[in-house]
């Protein structure tokens, strides 16, 4: 299981991001906002040199695509064209995975059709898409994501599974994962954060100290054959201080999950 983090959870500076990744012992990074720009519209040279020198992998890109709804046809058609730039950027960084939104203010056939068209373009470009579930949206749970991606039915379109978002929406993470597995949806990426629902709202917690139940969940992911990167997306404040503890706990939990299934 590859461990990584979305670097702008703590810093927008490429040099500091590389240093923190190495210090925390993570395998790689997911790129979203770097130096004030959103990928792929970032200054590449210094970033690529630092990553190459540190031998760190870019495990995923988050270009901010398909975060509206399928009713905004002109927007998502333009974003499909934008996949050409994302794929070219990813190729230069050795990354073929893009994390995207679900295009669903309300889950619908239109959302599935739009993501299917995105999948066609992505496949032609050698790019895989991972569609996320987001708390507070119409696709907040694993069940909703499974229903949407089951309707999409495209091999280039999988899940960016976020158990904490499912929990915040009232779904047990184990149930959400089971829905994805039962629908045959590949888990291409796992968004990592922890927390609990407190007084009807969400409270962030350090990894392993919330209610997600990450040890059991990582073991379930291994049993399900999910091999996408585990990406720390959010850190409790202060992020640079909490990052080391979160990364260490994630690495240990992933190792336990692999050992428990005879793969580690």
- Closest of 35, 128, 149, 44 to residue 83, by C-alpha: 128
Residues 239-252 have a mean pLDDT of 93
The domains of the chain are located at 3-260
Question: What is the band of 261 on the pLDDT scale with cuts at 50, 70, 90?
Answer: low
Half-sphere exposure of 131 (CA within 13 A, CB side): 35
For residue 262, pLDDT beyond 90: no
pLDDT of residue 156: 98
Contact 174, 215 (CB under 8 A): no
pLDDT of residue 106: 75
pLDDT of residue 263: 58
Contact 216, 167 (CB under 8 A): no
pLDDT of residue 239: 86
Handedness of CA 70, 132, 233, 125 (dihedral sign): negative
Handedness of CA 126, 47, 15, 94 (dihedral sign): positive
Question: What is the band of 264 on the pLDDT scale with cuts at 50, 70, 90?
Answer: low
* pTM, 2 dp: 0.96
pLDDT digits (tens, 9 = 90+) for 145-167: 999 999 999 999 999 999 999 99
Q: Which two tokens stand for residue 19?
A: 């240093």
Question: What is the band of 104 on the pLDDT scale with cuts at 50, 70, 90?
Answer: confident
In degrees, rounded to 5, the angle at the alpha carbon of residue 150 between the alpha carbons of residues 147 and 156 is 130
Question: What is the band of 203 on the pLDDT scale with cuts at 50, 70, 90?
Answer: very high
Q: Which CATH superfamily is domain 3-260 in?
A: Divalent-metal-dependent TIM barrel enzymes (3.20.20.150)
pLDDT of residue 238: 86
CA torsion angle for 216, 97, 233, 166 (degrees, to 10)? Answer: -50
Question: What is the band of 133 on the pLDDT scale with cuts at 50, 70, 90?
Answer: very high
Question: What is the band of 107 on the pLDDT scale with cuts at 50, 70, 90?
Answer: low
- Closest of 23, 41, 45, 20 to residue 32, by C-alpha: 41
Secondary structure class of 81 (helix, strand, coil) = helix
pLDDT of residue 97: 98
Residue-averaged pLDDT of the chain: 95
Secondary structure class of 99 (helix, strand, coil) = strand
pLDDT of residue 4: 98
Residues 67-78 have a mean pLDDT of 95
pLDDT of residue 212: 98
Provide, rounded to the nearest whole percent, the portion of the chain with pLDDT above 90: 91
Q: What is the rounded CA–CA span in Å between residue 31 and residue 150?
A: 27
For residue 27, pLDDT beyond 90: yes
Residues 170-190 have a mean pLDDT of 98
**Continuous H helices in 9-141:** 14-24, 44-54, 73-92, 109-125
E strand map for the chain: 3-6, 28-31, 33-34, 37-38, 57-61, 97-100, 128-132, 157-161, 187-192, 194-198, 201-205, 230-232
pLDDT of residue 241: 86
- Closest of 9, 3, 2 to residue 243, by C-alpha: 9
């Amino acid at each position: 299981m590859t461990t990584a983090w979305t670097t702008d959870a703590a810093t927008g500076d490429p040099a500091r991001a590389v240093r923190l990744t190495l210090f925390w012992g993570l395998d790689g990074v997911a790129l979203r906002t770097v130096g004030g720009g959103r990928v792929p519209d970032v200054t590449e040279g210094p970033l690529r040199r630092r990553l190459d020198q540190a031998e760190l992998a870019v495990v995923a890109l988050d270009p901010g695509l398909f975060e509206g709804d399928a009713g905004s046809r002109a927007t998502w058609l333009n974003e499909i064209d934008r996949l050409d730039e994302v794929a070219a950027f990813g190729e230069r960084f050795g990354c073929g995975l893009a994390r995207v939104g679900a295009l669903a203010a309300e889950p619908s056939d239109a959302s599935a059709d739009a993501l299917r068209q995105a999948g066609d373009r992505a496949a032609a470009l050698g790019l895989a898409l991972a569609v996320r579930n987001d708390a507070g949206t119409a696709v907040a749970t694993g069940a909703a994501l499974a229903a949407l991606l089951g309707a999409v039915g495209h091999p280039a379109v999988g899940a960016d599974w976020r158990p904490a978002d499912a929990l915040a929406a009232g779904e047990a993470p184990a149930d959400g994962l089971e829905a994805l597995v039962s629908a045959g949806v590949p888990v291409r990426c796992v968004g990592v954060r922890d927390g609990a629902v407190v007084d009807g709202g969400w409270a962030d917690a350090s990894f392993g100290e919330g209610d997600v139940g990450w040890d059991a969940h990582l073991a379930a992911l291994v049993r399900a054959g999910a091999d996408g990167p585990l990406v720390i997306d959010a850190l409790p404040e202060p992020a640079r201080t909490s990052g080391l503890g979160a990364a260490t706990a994630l690495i240990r939990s992933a190792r336990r999950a692999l050992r428990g299934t005879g793969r580690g």
